[in-house]
Structure 1
Amino acid sequence: MLVLLPPSETKHPGGDGAPLDLAALSHPELDPVREQLLGGIEALAGDVPASRKALGVSAAQDAEIARNAAVRTAPTLPALDRYTGVLYDALDVRSLTRAQRVKADRRLAVGSALFGLVHGGEPIPAYRLSAISHLPGLPRLRALWRPVLGPVLAAAADGLVVDLRSGSYADLAPVPGAVTVDVLSERADGSRAVVSHFNKAHKGRLARLLATTRAEPADVVGLVALLRRGGFHVERARGSAALTLVVPA
């Protein structure tokens, strides 16, 4: 089972790992695009106004541009420790036992605008680049990533893939046959609404269960049974890989 997570714009600073080494990351077939994008954000960091525009940051966030300038020399952290925010707070990998963390590093991967795909324990620096960023002189990220990342994810789809990425990241390279999850809140009168901000928290808790369970569901039927045993209210239309996670309003 592979669980795909979205990255976060916010990231823990610093780290105690050696500087970035692409050889330490899996899927070397992604390295040519990784190199292009690393070079792109490094070069762009020399032009602060252009960086603000391309990265969608304000003057108050110029430290993000400085991170990009130092992306090859800065210390690294494992990917699951680097990303922060609502989803990662709910996932809370730092509270996992050693055995659980080994399992989480194997089962969880992050769809990154800069690295394409990084597994949970792989060392990465802090950086700023989102799926909707457009670096001057380079094609759109979707055009860069889809031809190379698509086959990597398609190969992963030989097993069960649970795709929790947000829309812009899923669009970089969809996964054929992956299970997707939408979150709806249910009011006392039975009416439902899309969950926006706390959607990430619910997906983080779901990812934590999938990262730590002893079960190895082979298909969507087994996955639904696992989630229901874990206390999640999950619905599935017959024959569909799209799940609905229903939470109280």
Structure 2
Amino acid sequence: MLILLPPSESKSSRSRGKPADPTAVSFRELVAPRRTVAAELAAVSAGPDALTVLGVGPSLAEEVARNTRLDTAPALAVGELYTGVLYDALDLAGMDAAARRRATRWIVVVSALHGALRLGDRVAPYRLSMGVTLPGTGPLARFWRPHLEEVLTTAAGDGVVVDCRSSTYAAAGSPRGEAAERWVQVRVPGASHMAKHTRGLVAGHLCRTGTAPRTPEALAEELGDAFVVHGLTPPARPGKPWVLDVTPGQAE
């Protein structure tokens, strides 16, 4: 099974520690595009219009400045890096050892800077959204799409792809071929802020139970034990995801 998560704008940081080793991060086939984006991000972040290009306000100026020092900044595990509503609901720290191992194996975070990351990878905190257009790459979602489609298709294997990403990050790539036939987008009807919370609960539930459904129908059945499943809609056309509408039900 493959569980796709978006990153979080809010991130933890450290004042001391070793920098990231780019060669040790998962998905070695992404090393070259990561270097391209990192170089573009550093150049933009050092410029006078950095805040405008990155689409952030003056209160985040220090975080943008940090983008110029990513090679030497202390790194931390992805499972500790991202914070916020979705990751609070995932509650990686509250999982037992078996559930954390499953989370490390099943979860992939789609990142505007790194493309794709696993929870055990170590990277430095950064400020960059997938909705940004960098001068040398163009729109980041379009830049990453050909790279991530291949990576996610391979990572999916023969299991279900549980897509808990926002639309901005889903635009950066999706599984193809047979894997796309098992691709399920988790949607939360009538929710915005609560959508992140619910998707975090869904990812955490699957990691805790250890069940790895192999079909969209089996995924809906599994989640029905802990959530209200409003419906499972088949793909609108080939290459599009199934859509699973859920809301929180009984307490996790």
Fold match by TM threshold 0.5: yes
- Which position in structure 2 is the counterpart of 1:122? 121
| Secondary structure of residue in 2 paired with 1:233 | strand
Q: What code does the residue aligned with 2:19 have?
A: P
Question: Conserved in 1, the CA contact under 8 Å of 2:102 and 2:210?
Answer: no
Distance 1:237 1:205, change over 3 A: closer
Q: State the shift of 1:203 in Å.
A: 0.8
- Which position in structure 2 is the counterpart of 1:65? 64
- Which position in structure 2 is the counterpart of 1:232? 227
Q: State the shift of 1:118 in Å.
A: 0.2
What's the CA shift string for 1:112-165, capped at 9, x where partnerless? 011111011111110011011122233221332111111111223332110111
Q: Which range moved further: 172-181 or 5-14?
A: 172-181
Q: What code does the residue aligned with 2:108 have?
A: A
Question: Conserved in 2, the CA contact under 8 Å of 1:20 and 1:76?
Answer: yes
Q: State the shift of 1:195 in Å.
A: 0.5
Q: What code does the residue aligned with 2:231 have?
A: R
Distance 1:165 1:111, change over 3 A: same
Distance 1:15 1:162, change over 3 A: farther
Find the aligned partners of 2:96 and 2:34 in 1 and give their Cα distance.
32
Partner residue of 2:219 out of 223, 237, 242: 223
| Secondary structure of residue in 2 paired with 1:150 | helix
What's the CA shift string for 1:181-226, capped at 9, x where partnerless? 1112xxxxxxxxx101111111111111112222221111221121
Q: State the shift of 1:247 in Å.
A: 4.5
Where does the alignment leave 5 or more consecutive residues of structure 2 unmatched? 236-241
Q: State the shift of 1:17 in Å.
A: 5.4
Q: State the shift of 1:66 in Å.
A: 2.1
Question: Conserved in 1, the CA contact under 8 Å of 2:11 and 2:81?
Answer: yes
Distance 1:131 1:35, change over 3 A: same
- Which position in structure 2 is the counterpart of 1:188? none
1:17-166 map, 5 Å: 18-47=18-47, 49-158=48-157, 159-166=159-166
Find the aligned partners of 2:248 and 2:82 in 1 and give their Cα distance.
25
Question: Conserved in 1, the CA contact under 8 Å of 2:144 and 2:172?
Answer: yes
Question: Conserved in 2, the CA contact under 8 Å of 1:16 and 1:77?
Answer: no
What's the CA shift string for 1:59-115, capped at 9, x where partnerless? 111111122111111111111210111101111111222232122111111010111
- Which position in structure 2 is the counterpart of 1:172? 172
Find the aligned partners of 2:16 and 2:209 in 1 and give their Cα distance.
29
| Secondary structure of residue in 2 paired with 1:203 | helix
- Which position in structure 1 is the counterpart of 2:7? 7
Establish whether residue 183 from structure 1 lines up as the match of residue 188 from structure 2.
yes
Q: State the shift of 1:50 in Å.
A: 1.6
Find the aligned partners of 1:181 and 1:247 in 2 and give their Cα distance.
12
Q: State the shift of 1:239 in Å.
A: 4.3
Establish whether residue 207 from structure 1 lines up as the match of residue 203 from structure 2.
yes
- Root-mean-square deviation (CA, aligned residues, Å) is 1.8
Q: What code does the residue aligned with 2:133 have?
A: H
Question: Conserved in 2, the CA contact under 8 Å of 1:183 and 1:247?
Answer: no
| Secondary structure of residue in 2 paired with 1:198 | helix
Q: State the shift of 1:169 in Å.
A: 0.6
Distance 1:172 1:70, change over 3 A: same
Q: How many residues align?
A: 237
Normalising by structure 2, we get a TM-score of: 0.88
Where does the alignment leave 5 or more consecutive residues of structure 1 unmatched? 185-193
Query: Identical aligned pairs, as a percentage?
Result: 38
